[in-house]
Chain A
């Protein structure tokens, strides 16, 4: 798990609870608090573009890498390193900017874009409510 903010730490905890062997990486040592006392996985402090750190955290044996630092560009670069250099079988990355998310999806990365999901959901909810109001007015 690369990047342990609100999203990353929770994903790490979920997988840890599921019985996965999880190694978490973050630049900030304090995020260890986010992982909580029950955390049984590894924790590594440093920048995700540091190959020595990635190796130390065990990327060469990883079945999956989840990337969710607060920097879209860092995430995009690290995802490509995980995929191309370490040939990790499953790489998934969180990207906030929908434009870059779409472009890199086209280039072969598996991407989750919460901004796009939120935008679509919000828009659909408004349209649904308008449709519902029209429906009610008719009846």
Chain B
């Protein structure tokens, strides 16, 4: 696979390093002279110096071939958006992955259809939420294109769903239980299975239906 990485900071350079180590072809674009020198020492001809939002720089890095995947990992969200748009619209790159630096800018990536995106802040927040659930419902994965998400709900003794079968829950439209985690094992969504305190319910949910699901399962 040929992957182009735009932005050689901690994120970009580590992605590039991992890809090279697993045998992929990589070009890595970095603008800042000091950072570039270090990258060139390590990545040699794979490191390209320049502003990855400039078309001729992308061309020098081989975007016309085009790459199988482009990763926009600079520290500027507007640059990452433009890099992805240029790659897609001008050079027909089919798969772009963008880094979101400021979570407030996520909506701009969504508006312009740039997906998937990766945000360190959102990931850390999701992990904190997973470790210290405050809301009883945890988002595990967002499928933006499909407008769906995979969530986990922790059932406790006071949950109104205890003792009910999954089919009796009356889940919101477009939602499905995919598994129930019980005593460290994943149980299939067996129709006869009754929910019990301590269960973790994994469900696919249409975005925006979180409150409805919480009411059904948690009543909090």
A contact residues vs B (CB 8 Å cutoff): 49-51, 71-74, 76-77, 80-81, 84-85, 97, 99-100, 103, 107
Contact indicator B111/A100 (Cβ below 8 Å): no
Could you tell me the distance between the alpha carbons of A74 and B85 in the complex, rounded to whole angstroms? 13
Interface residues of B in 56-101 (CB under 8 A from A): 56, 76-79, 81-82, 85-86, 89-90
Could you tell me the distance between the alpha carbons of A129 and B89 in the complex, rounded to whole angstroms? 40
Contact indicator B89/A100 (Cβ below 8 Å): no
B contact residues vs A (CB 8 Å cutoff): 53-56, 76-79, 81-82, 85-86, 89-90, 104-105, 107-108, 111-112
Given A72-B53, A81-B108, A97-B54 in contact, is the A49-B78 Cβ separation under 8 Å? Answer: yes
Contact indicator B108/A99 (Cβ below 8 Å): no
Q: A99: which of B56, B78, B79 is its contact (CB, 8 Å)? A: B56
Q: B82: which of A77, A81, A84 is its contact (CB, 8 Å)? A: A77
Contact indicator A76/B82 (Cβ below 8 Å): yes
Given A51-B107, A80-B112 in contact, is the A107-B89 Cβ separation under 8 Å? Answer: yes
What residue in chain A is nearest B58 (Cβ atoms)? A99
Contact indicator B89/A103 (Cβ below 8 Å): yes
Which chain B positions have C-beta within 8 A of A50? 104
Query: Which of B54, B82, B111, B112 counts the most chain A CB atoms within 10 A?
Result: B82
Contact indicator A73/B53 (Cβ below 8 Å): yes
Contact indicator A100/B78 (Cβ below 8 Å): no
A-B CB contacts (within 8 Å), total count = 49
Which chain B positions have C-beta within 8 A of A73? 53, 76, 78-79, 81-82
Contact indicator A81/B55 (Cβ below 8 Å): no
What residue in chain A is nearest B89 (Cβ atoms)? A107
Contact indicator B78/A71 (Cβ below 8 Å): yes
Given A49-B105, A49-B108, A103-B89 in contact, is the A77-B54 Cβ separation under 8 Å? Answer: no
Which chain B positions have C-beta within 8 A of A85? 111
Could you tell me the distance between the alpha carbons of A71 and B53 in the complex, rounded to whole angstroms? 11
Contact indicator B81/A99 (Cβ below 8 Å): no
Q: A81: which of B56, B77, B79, B111 is its contact (CB, 8 Å)? A: B111
Given A49-B78, A73-B76, A107-B89 in contact, is the A80-B111 Cβ separation under 8 Å? Answer: yes
Could you tell me the distance between the alpha carbons of A101 and B182 in the complex, rounded to whole angstroms? 57
What residue in chain A is nearest B102 (Cβ atoms)? A49
Could you tell me the distance between the alpha carbons of A99 and B85 in the complex, rounded to whole angstroms? 13
Could you tell me the distance between the alpha carbons of A103 and B88 in the complex, rounded to whole angstroms? 11
Q: How far is the CB of B74 from chain A (nearest CB, A)?
A: 10
Q: 5 shortest A-B CB distances, which residue pairs? A: A73-B78, A99-B55, A73-B82, A77-B78, A74-B78
What residue in chain A is nearest B56 (Cβ atoms)? A99
What residue in chain A is nearest B79 (Cβ atoms)? A73
Given A49-B105, A77-B81 in contact, is the A99-B111 Cβ separation under 8 Å? Answer: no
Which chain B positions have C-beta within 8 A of A99? 54-56
Given A72-B53, A77-B81 in contact, is the A103-B108 Cβ separation under 8 Å? Answer: no
Which chain A positions have C-beta within 8 A of B77? 49, 77
Q: How far is the CB of B113 from chain A (nearest CB, A)?
A: 10
5 contacts between A and B (CB under 8 A): A73-B53, A76-B81, A77-B78, A81-B111, A107-B89
